[in-house]
Amino acid sequence: MTHSIRVVRLCAMIATLGLVLNSGAALAAEKSQQISRAIAKEMSAAQKALQASQWNEAIKNLDAAEGKPDQTAFDKFKVLDFKGFAYTRLSNFKAAEQSYEAALATGLYSAEDAAKTERILFRLSAGNQQYAKAIEYGKKVTETGAATADDYAIMGQSYYLTKDCKNAGVWVDKAANAARKNGEAPKEALYQIKLRCAFDANDNPGTVAALEELVRLTGKTEYWNQLLRFQRQDERDDHNLLMIYRVMYNTGSMTAGSDYMEMAQLLGDAALPGEAQTVIEKGTANGVFSDAKDKERSNRLLTATKARADTDRKGLTQLAGEATKNPAGELSVKLGEVYYGFGDYQNTVTAINSGLQKGQVKHLDEAYVYLGLAQSALKNNAEAKKAFAELKKVPNISPRVLKIWDLYAEKLG
């Protein structure tokens, strides 16, 4: 698996925290304590610079204040607090972290402001790749009951980056649940963490579950491709394998020339050469048959399927007549599948519905799949979903096949 985990960058989060720690716009002296005369001039200049967003000028004055003798403990605390604010605005997050930690260590923050500072340090330490420290601050933040979905996400990422996948999964789930509770979609990066953890642990069910969530969340073809390749790798039944290929083909996630050719061969074996021809032609148009050997093989396969498809096309009228007369539905469903291969979706719907009404259909799963695909092609997504929903009632359907078509139907429209 080549997909990398994209860890959320924290700098923007830090800059938009909106937390005022007696800094910047809230620089009034504490009621109980005030800055001493020893550094009053420098701190006044720093205050003006901060209010004017002149961050470097503020640091210059704070450095000057820090070098003055006869400072009180409160003086030192305020210099550090102001520096943390200014360094954050300068995006010097390492210096900001050091300043805020030193300010916190003085014990002079109020309980409320100490909690706010710990929240900032949580994000600063994570942004500075000090993940163990971030986890410790994060625990304090989340214990307050005021944690956001982003806070939980940072915890999950921090645990992942310390190679603790078990706890990463716990916090990723918390982040996803918090996002949904707020009416938001969970971040893609969260499920990428679960995906990587499961893949690295050779946990195939966990990998599939994470890929399903990523498909559900994003609908991206890259995740469909990975999911369907996992589902296909140990499938030995040709009927089910073709079902998986149909999903891969219809989600646009089929990328290998060998997949196009194998699908076409399976369709040919299922007496559906018209659809097989369409699949090979699509692969050719997509440029997936790159080397000479693949091109030669695909051309042979295309020639063979074209000949059989032409025969089917000429015999459509006769097949339609026989299906109409037949009291069983199997032939009508087969007629609908042939129509589908030729792109005649309205006749596909008519024929398959007729066959289903008659009953005695050998492969109900295929009937409902083709009915759903045809309705989707006709932009009747509500009807398509109804057709796919009927798969749940099909006896002995492969659970794997059922699950991927459920997911396919969920992403329609």
Q: What is the mean pLDDT of residues 348-358?
A: 96
Name the packing angle between helices 364-377 and 238-250 (round to 10°).
Answer: 10
Distance CA 194, CA 347 (A): 44
**Count of positions (residues) in the chain:** 413
pLDDT value for 132 = 96
Q: Which residues contact 20 (CB under 8 A, 6 or more apart)?
A: 26, 116
pLDDT value for 1 = 54
DSSP 8-state code for residue 348 = H
Q: What is the mean pLDDT of residues 197-209?
A: 93
As assigned by CATH, the class of the 316-410 domain is mainly alpha
Q: Are 335 and 368 in contact (CB under 8 A)?
A: no
pLDDT value for 290 = 85
Q: Are 219 and 396 in contact (CB under 8 A)?
A: no
* Cβ count within 10 A of residue 236: 6
Q: Kindly report, residue by residue over 214-238, the tens digit of the pLDDT.
A: 999 999 999 999 999 999 988 889 9
Residue 83: pLDDT band (50, 70, 90) is very high
Q: What is the mean pLDDT of residues 140-151?
A: 90
Q: Kindly report, residue by residue over 14-69, the tens digit of the pLDDT.
A: 433 433 334 433 333 343 478 899 999 999 999 999 999 999 999 999 999 999 99
Mean pLDDT of the chain: 90
Q: Kindly report, residue by residue over 275-318, the tens digit of the pLDDT.
A: 999 999 999 999 999 888 889 999 999 999 999 999 999 999 99
Distance CA 214, CA 228 (A): 13
pLDDT over 70 (residue 247):
yes
Q: What is the mean pLDDT of residues 184-211?
A: 93
Rg (CA), the chain: 32
Q: Which amino acid is at 358?
A: K
Name the packing angle between helices 111-127 and 131-143 (round to 10°).
Answer: 150
pLDDT value for 17 = 41
pLDDT over 70 (residue 150):
yes
pLDDT value for 145 = 83
Q: What is the mean pLDDT of residues 230-252?
A: 93
Q: Which amino acid is at 180?
A: R
pLDDT over 90 (residue 89):
yes
pLDDT over 90 (residue 353):
yes
pLDDT value for 291 = 87
pLDDT over 70 (residue 87):
yes
Q: Are 371 and 336 in contact (CB under 8 A)?
A: yes
Q: Which amino acid is at 325?
A: K
Distance CA 147, CA 154 (A): 11
pLDDT value for 234 = 85
Domain locations in the chain as residue ranges = 256-313, 316-410
